[in-house]
Amino acid sequence: MKEPYRVEWVDVAALIDAVLRAEAVKPVQQAKRDAFRAYGVLGTRKDPPLTAIFYSIMLRLGLLDRVIQDLTGVRNPLLLDPRLRAALRVFTYLELYAKDRVAYSRKLECLKRTASWLTSKSHPYVGMWFVDVVKGLSSYAFIPKSVEDELIAKYLLPPWYVKKVFELVGEEEGDRVLRALAERPKISVRVNVLKTTVQEVVEKLRSGGKNPEVSQVVPTVIKFSGPYNFDKSELFRKGMIVVQEEPAALASLVLNPKPGEVVVDLAAAPGGKTEHMGELMGNRGVIHAFDVDGARMRRLEELVRRAGVSIVKTYVRDGREAPRLLGEGVADKVLVDPPCTSDGTLAKNPDLRWRLVESDVAKLSQLQYELLKAAVKLVRPGGYVLYTTCTLLREENEDVIAKILEKERGKVKLVPLEGPYGAGFLPGTMRVWPHIHKTIGFFYALLQKV
């Protein structure tokens, strides 16, 4: 049997800091890197095991909070001081869910130093209270008190979402879908053909100890097992590879922008698809990239600069304003990859599962429809609009397409997609399933303006 990884105080401190930062910094991978860098963990032999612990905590946040709720009597752990909440989440995980894999080098020191830190940052008695709560974990076992508790414990997901998936595909297949969303996927990158070749990237990854496999769906996508330090990667820093999942990379191939065309990306940041379209266009033509998020748009601008794509014009504006700003009937191709629930990416973004809110679904589907309406105005007769999401929910996929086809009857038609992935619930659309295709969940619908 493998020896448990032994955590010291600095490891626990790094984990608490990472969990704390993850509440404010997205993606959580960045929060983890920032915290591990601050504590001298990043890139050391401690990085892989502590990264695994961090992601296990993120995967269980909702369950950990249910335990904290039981132990403290606090109605909602979000009412606690963020530092205290982060510390309780880390110790609850270590005490209840990692005993066979993780052990303390000096548990008392870890407890005392955490307590002192909490006291110094908040109330004098918080540290003592924290120690008492952690001691209570030694005699605690989580016993579900309701069907909702049972679903949380079984799937590590909000009960409403579990029920939605069951309604979509039935309980038997839904169980397979939900379990796939808890499996850690391989790292996926796309080769920037403006700067290098797939073969060169494969060779460099092999020389770095990786065992890369080239995608059968998108020939420029390479997958390999982590961890991988992108901060130190020459391939990444020089723009030879772009972090992107296989289904996301396929989107640009489906839309198929050509050199010299006018393309509009209505929800472009952080820019993976925008950059890919620039590659496919051979840096000839123009891509108008819209997004309301200024920070994410700066990431897009940095990405296209690093990748050597020079035809992107950026607008920190709502994509629904694009027809007024650019004019109607001006685009050959329009990409609508709108904000969505993003549940298809839960395997690679484990913390996201606990930020899923049922009431957001209707709001998002309305926004998606309005962005599609703007796309129909933008595209010229005979031009194409590609609609994609990374959600499994029908309300944000087939229902949105059915609505635009009804409301814009006679103006647009659905162009049937037949592979490489599976059929959607609306004939002609296409879906990616995590349990079947071993990647993120995704949806595609290609429209043509009549």
- Per DSSP, 139 falls in state G
Contact 27, 51 (CB under 8 A): no
Contact 276, 311 (CB under 8 A): no
Q: Span 194-217, mean pLDDT?
A: 96
φ/ψ of 128, rounded to 5, equals -65, -45
CA distances from 420 to 157, 200, 388 (A): 29, 26, 15
Catalytic residues: 390
Q: Span 325-337, mean pLDDT?
A: 98
Distance CA(254)–CA(447), nearest Å, equals 11
pLDDT (tens digit, 9 = 90+) per residue, 38-88?
Answer: 999 998 999 989 999 999 999 999 999 999 999 999 999 999 999 999 999
253 pLDDT above the threshold of 80: yes
Q: Span 173-197, mean pLDDT?
A: 95
How would you class 120 by CB atoms within 10 Å of its CB: exposed for 0-12, middle for 13-18, buried for 19 or more?
A: exposed
Tell me the domains of the chain and their CATH numbers.
5-139 (1.10.940.10), 147-180 (no CATH), 246-449 (3.40.50.150)
Q: What tokens does 97 get? A: 């869910």
What confidence category does residue 238 fall into, taking pLDDT thresholds of 50, 70 and 90? very high
Q: Coil, helix or strand for 419?
A: coil
How many Cβ atoms are within 10 Å of 10's Cβ, its own excluded?
A: 15
Q: What tokens does 2 get? A: 């493998």
Q: What tokens does 37 get? A: 């860098």
Distance CA(292)–CA(391), nearest Å, equals 20
Contact 222, 214 (CB under 8 A): yes
Contact 185, 89 (CB under 8 A): no
Distance CA(277)–CA(288), nearest Å, equals 11
Helix (H) or strand (E) holding 68: helix 61-72
Could you tell me whether strands 442-449 and 379-389 are parallel, antiparallel, or unpaired per DSSP bridges?
antiparallel
The predicted pLDDT at position 122 comes to 82
Distance CA(296)–CA(339), nearest Å, equals 13
Q: DSSP readout, 81-126?
A: -HHHHHHHHHHHHHHHT-TTTEEESSHHHHHHHHHHHHHHHS-TTH
Q: DSSP readout, 240-279?
A: SEEE--HHHHHHHHHH---TT-EEEETT-TT-HHHHHHHH
Q: Which of 103-107, 362-366, 380-384 has the lowest mean pLDDT?
A: 103-107
Q: Which residue has the tokens 């961090």?
A: 54
H-helix segments, 335-447? 360-378, 398-407, 434-437
HSE-CB of 444 using CA atoms within 13 angstroms: 26
The predicted pLDDT at position 226 comes to 83
Could you tell me whether strands 221-224 and 213-214 are parallel, antiparallel, or unpaired per DSSP bridges?
antiparallel
Distance CA(204)–CA(89), nearest Å, equals 39
What confidence category does residue 229 fall into, taking pLDDT thresholds of 50, 70 and 90? confident
How would you class 165 by CB atoms within 10 Å of its CB: exposed for 0-12, middle for 13-18, buried for 19 or more?
A: buried
What confidence category does residue 1 fall into, taking pLDDT thresholds of 50, 70 and 90? low
* Mean pLDDT estimate for the chain: 95
